Every structure is written in C-alpha cells, then in structure tokens.
Structure 1
Amino acid sequence: SGAAGGSDEPPGKAAKSSKADALPVDAWDCPICTKAMTGRIFQCQLGHHLCEDCLDELKARSGPCPTCRQLFPPTVVRNFGMEQLAGHFSFACPQACGFRGKPDALQTHKSECALRLVKCPVEECEHWCFESPAPAP
C-alpha cells in the first residue's frame, strides 16, 4: 500500500477509479429532457448543466435554470470539462436501435439511424415516422 492516503499512485497523479468512484448513471442526463448530454454541454451561473437543445428552448422563452431558478446570462457558458469527460464513455442511441458509441460517433449515428423520426413523406401529412421499419426481433 502507498503513503498516508493509501494509494499506490505517485503524488500529483489521479488514482485509478473503482466502481465506488464511478459517476452516477444519471450524471449525463439533462435535467429538462432527461436525455444523455452527448453534444455540447452548457451550465448556468451556479454550474448546473443542461443540453444545448434545452438551453436554446429556455433562452427563447427567457426561462430560468430548472435547478436553481437563476436566469441564464446573455453569454452562455459551456462545460468543456464535462464534454471532455463524456468523450471517455459510450452512450446508447436514444432510439434504442442497439448502437452504442462515444459522443462524436453517436452524433453521426443519430443523423443516420434507421429508427430516427422523420416527417412523413406524404404531402400535407403532419405525422412523424421512423426512417425505416424496425428490424424484426
């Protein structure tokens, strides 16, 4: 065993994480839409995070942070640290097609996923449907 801290890691280096040190499974969930934040992540003045889509929606209606109720400043703050950390994890496709990947790969996949919702191709139809039928089980 190491020094007083009990770690075998050299001073100034991060210790290897264990399951006890792992992030909670909902740490990546946007508090508004509850989807995993795999794109750009923003934060309020007090550091509460949310996804880009929800931030755009909140700002359009001048809504406050859902956690602390503070208004967002005119200049938004990205949480680059959380974005960088997210790059070390794999996330499931929100369409439940079975794809898992790092945020960059997931963003690309979401625009190509066969189960993504698209506007109905029938003229004047307002429905949304899957890009292609779901595969048989």
Structure 2
Amino acid sequence: MITHITEGVKISVETIYQPEYSNPANDHYMFAYKINIENLTDYSVQLMRRHWFIFDSNGTHREVEGDGVVGLQPVIDPGDYHEYVSGCNLKTDIGSMKGSYEMRRLVDNEEFEVKIPEFNMIAPYKLN
C-alpha cells in the first residue's frame, strides 16, 4: 500500500490486477485501485475534483480530470474516511498513476490540493 499525507488528508492506495477483465493478446490489461481518503484534520473537507496522470510502459501518457470520484463529491468529517474502488486499463502489463484531489475546507470554503502518490500497476506474472 502506498500512502501520502497533504495538509492533514491521508491518501492510501492499493492496486489489483484483474485478469478476468484483461486480454493480453489484444494489449488490454485491466487494473482496479482502491483509494482510502482519511481526514486527519479538525474540520470537515469535501472532495471536489480529481486530476490523474496515467503512464503506460509503452510511452503513452494520459490525463483525466473531472468532478468528484465515481460520481460523488463526498464530505469527510474529522477522523472519518471515504473509500472507493475504480479502474484503469493499460495497453501494457506495467504502468503507473499519480494525481491530485481538489478539496474544500467546509469551515471557510478554502480550496486546497491533496497529492495522490504515484502507484504502480503491474501484472503479477511480471514480478516472478
């Protein structure tokens, strides 16, 4: 698990290769990632936007951004967390992602950026 804390918001990431949704013969590799966003601050925060940078080992780079995560803009109270699972497809069996969340402090409506640490997506057979 990869973790990083920015301004009191802790991001933890786990990845899972999904062979049942992958088709290596057609250069299609599917990965799921589970993200836990934990609020270590004394105030409630809301996740407003996401911004991803996706890197494939064939040299392809993609950028994805949009409102919220999996259709939600969750409010996370002090000491609480929000967890979700999403996915990413690659053309190769090795890649990585990193990015940021735009968060809002509900106490003063100030927005701030939380870093999503870079994490690898590697098909397990590449590790042998």
Q: TM-score range by the shorter chain?
A: under 0.3
Answer 1 or 2: which has greater helix percent: 1
What is the TM-score of this pair, normalised by structure 2? 0.19
What is the TM-score of this pair, normalised by structure 1? 0.18
Answer 1 or 2: which has greater strand percent: 2
Higher relative contact order (CA 8 A, sep 6+): 2
